[in-house]
Structure 1
């Protein structure tokens, strides 16, 4: 069974009502949002999905209810983005290229924080062959977004710093404009080193307004508590000896394992 099929079966996604990408984007695109993250055992994640079934739809792409993601993160030589997050600076940022593997779609994304600590995401469509690099148009886009956010970094100073892979299911409350994503099969890679999330756990993210959504309240009742976790930050922390990140390492030690390069999560299937 593939990682995608395993996640779909483990979460019981077939029991949910489906929604198209257009419907989800119209109701809950959420480029400006508050994110809350939880590391949840798979059995409790399935309970969450079951209890959200009356209010949420699952993103359904022509019968496919998960998507395989590849994300290459870019950072400065001195890991300025990583350090800004670990040190909880007000002006935090991330730059990445993201490939939606089954569909052969690629985007350049820049995430920043506003004055209220909410995440603001900016995205630019890119050709699939542009995944993993910043060409001239991508660099111009990155420079403009970071400049407007008051972050003194340019694309010329950035290089690939880590690749994160995972399989995602996305749920949306179409009436209230909030979303829940569930990520499984998460692996991190840099050079010849790799790390992975315990396969018995799922990373759940709620994406909505400042106030906790119904999904957050359900998670609390299921015994989950929010964690401060960035896929890029924890990946680099695990794969780079000597980084000053004790809080991240304590979290990682309980849920992640390190080793050689992880096996591919899927075979890339370009869109027809």
Structure 2
């Protein structure tokens, strides 16, 4: 009897040339970038990957071509970060700890938007055991980024707000300096509440310069359209009753479903 098909097999990642993490980071680390997001059917994602094979490499980690991501997001008691995104403010921020599960690598990350709408990401490596909290070193890092970027928040007011889990494949155009990620089996968790993206859908993100790259043009050709979607934004909208209505409601209704969550959360709120 065969087991469930892996996300890597579903996408046909075996058909791409592999690249090391060093190669991908050297060519397309893109800490300052423009992100474009698309929700596509799994079959469309497979066609997309096959079409990129001549120009893109897939991140290969010792033969493994996907990574399980756990991301714990932090917010103020009044959900200042969530509300800034929901209201579409040009200057906004996110704070998270991210665990690369198979490799036990962990980072504290701060993402901000500059005045032109580009995403700026700052990262600081921490111990895997620190996932889900902001220890002394991580808090100092976040506060430094907030001060330098003019964010009127300090880490003393932040606490864990939601966790996002997914399986990710990363593709890079090593010559063109752009990157594509494909997230599947995506779920949102808050306490014992959970919701998940439909298994036949994939969240595709292109990360490049101000002009759409070849990957964006290909997605448009395949019938996809860019959407404004924050995994943290939609997760909170799904799991916290009574939040103000906003544009992600339609996506939430059509593309996500609630789960019965038996696994205890990493951090209890």
What's the TM-score, normalizing by structure 2?
0.95
Residue in 2 aligned with 1:270? none
Deviates more, 1:243-252 or 1:129-138: 243-252
Matched, 1:29 2:29: yes
Deviations 1:88-115 (A, max 9, x none): 1121100000000000000000000112
Could you say which residue in structure 1 is the equivalent of 2:202?
202
Matched residue SS, 2:210: coil
CA contact (8 A) 1:189 1:262 kept: no
Residue 59 of structure 1 deviates from its aligned partner by 0.3
1:230 corresponds to which residue?
A: 230
**Does the alignment pair 1:79 with 2:79?**
yes
SS of equivalent to 2:6: helix
CA–CA distance in structure 1, aligned partners of residues 118 and 246 of structure 2: 25
Structure 1 outlier segments of 4+, above 6 Å:
none
Does the Cα contact within 8 Å between 2:12 and 2:46 map onto a contact in 1? yes
Answer yes or no: is the 8 Å Cα contact 1:23–1:174 preserved in 2. Answer: yes
Q: Aligned-pair distance for 1:262?
A: 7.0
2:43 matched residue in structure 1: 43
What SS class does the counterpart of residue 151 from structure 2 fall into?
A: coil
- For residues 196 and 163 of structure 2, the distance between their equivalents in structure 1, rounded to whole angstroms, comes to 12
d(CA) in 2 for partners of 1:117, 1:91: 8
Check whether the contact 2:86–2:246 (CA below 8 A) recurs between aligned residues. no
Q: Deviations over 1:227-272 (max 9, x none)?
A: 10000000000000110133111111110011322769xxxxxxxx
Tell me how large the CA RMSD over aligned residues is. 1.4
C-alpha distance in structure 2 between counterparts of 1:32 and 1:262, whole Å? 38
Q: Structure 1: how far apart are the matches of 2:153 and 2:133?
A: 17
Cα distance per residue 1:144-182 (max 9 Å; x no partner):
101111111000000000000000000000001000000
1:103-252 to structure 2, matched below 5 A, reads 103-252=103-252
CA distance, structure 1, for counterparts of residue 50 and residue 26 of structure 2? 24
Asked whether the 8 Å contact 1:166–1:185 carries over to 2, the reply is yes
Instruction: Compute the TM-score of the two structures, normalised by the length of structure 1.
Output: 0.94
* C-alpha separation in 1, matches of 2:57 and 2:72: 29
Distance in 2 (alpha carbons) for counterparts of 1:2 and 1:161: 34
For structure 1, the 5+ residue unaligned runs are: 265-272
1:65 Cα deviation after fit: 0.2
- Counterpart CA distance in 2 for 1:219 and 1:213 is 10
- What do residues 175-200 of structure 1 show as CA deviations (whole Å, max 9, x unaligned)? 01000000000000001110000000
In structure 2, distance between residues paired with 1:247 and 1:59: 33
- Provide closer, same or farther for how the CA distance between residues 218 and 246 of structure 1 changes in structure 2, counting only shifts above 3 A: same
Aligned residues: 263
Deviations 1:50-103 (A, max 9, x none): 000000000000000000000000000000000000101121100000000000
Which runs of 5 or more structure 2 residues have no equivalent in the other structure? 265-269
- Asked if the contact 1:196/1:262 (under 8 Å) is kept, the reply is no
- C-alpha contact (below 8 Å) 2:192/2:262 kept by paired residues: no
CA change 1:2–1:137 in 2 (3 A) is: farther
